[in-house]
Structure 1
Amino acid sequence: MDTSSAGGLTGRHRRWMYRGGRPNWLARLMNRFAARQFSVGLAPPNWMTLEVPGRRTGRTVEVPVVVADHEGEQFLVSMLGEDANWVRNVRAAGGRAVLRHGRREQVRLDEVPVAQRAPILRRYLALAPGARAHLPVDRHAPVTEFAAIAARFPVFRITPDPRPPDPPAGGAEAH
């Protein structure tokens, strides 16, 4: 049983909270609380809130994230893989978003090619205890094991972007 997760939750509980790759009611509640906490800076510096316009409504969606540093750059990783709502919203917004940790920073999120993801995924697991239940590799595993799963977990390079994100038009939003 994984007891290394933050907040006293085991890996089994974390998987239950995100069964099917979507947050259940408890995960949504905890994510809302964490997003508020991270956005005002009441967390380690690399724990932030991602703000991105919803791809259907244009309403701002807030998601707590862990920023991984690797070789002088910063990255976001989707612990839930390709189908995470924030990944779809970032793609629909052309990579334009906001990161908050005490202050707002307009950023551009550019997807990292699969061949370059493995060492970033490894670094991410070292920094994000809550994600360890979702990636099927031990955080101490060799980079080759991360390469085997890299195509399943999107990674985005963070760069400053002085332009605000453009909200998309129409429809209903699901978190």
Structure 2
Amino acid sequence: MVLPRWLARVNRVATNRVLGRLPVFATVRHVGRRSGRRYQTPIAVFRADRGYVAALTYGPGADWVRNVLAAGGCELRVRGEWVPLVRPMVVHDPERRAVPPVVRLFLAVPGAVDFLHLDLAQPER
């Protein structure tokens, strides 16, 4: 089970602007795979060895995920800066190993077991 699609629509209209400013959230900037339009979506994201891992609370079929996969990357606004990310890969992980232990508990509630792994386009200095 993942969060229902109707909740995604409510979040898009009502809560996304606030979520993008909370510590565990960042904003992903992606391009529509059909429209070519630029979108910004707040996501729950965590630092990983080579880049970042995003919890797919609406599942791997969410539009933003499909856009990032089709484009082969995206940009992520982290601490006020846009960071280019490449090589997106959906990973099914029922144990939620890519996120901190306390977050695993929260992600168990909606049943989130899929994650988007993204590599930094260039190594950090």
What is the TM-score normalised by the length of structure 2? 0.71
Mark the CA change 1:59 to 1:117 in structure 2 (over 3 Å): closer, same or farther. farther
Structure 1 or 2, whichever has the larger Rg, is 1
Q: CA RMSD in A?
A: 3.3
Runs of 4+ in 1 over 4 A off after TM superposition: 70-73
- Structure 1: which 5+ runs fail to align? 1-14, 137-149, 163-175
Residue identity (%): 20
- Would the aligned equivalents of 1:110 and 1:157 in 2 still touch at CA under 8 Å? yes
Quick one: distance in 1 between partners of 2:94 and 2:104?
18
Q: Which is richer in helix? A: 1
What is the TM-score normalised by the length of structure 1? 0.54
1:27 aligns with 2:6: no
- Structure 2: which 5+ runs fail to align? none
Quick one: distance in 2 between partners of 1:90 and 1:29?
21
Matches within 5 A, 1:89-104: 89-94=67-72, 96-101=73-78, 102-104=80-82
Give per-residue Cα distances to partners, 1:16-65, cap 9 Å, x unaligned. Answer: xx5347623x3212344136xx3xxx432x42100110111111111101
Quick one: distance in 2 between partners of 1:124 and 1:65?
18
Q: Partner residue of 1:63? A: 41
* Count of aligned residue pairs for this structure pair: 120
Q: Which amino acid aligns with 1:29?
A: V
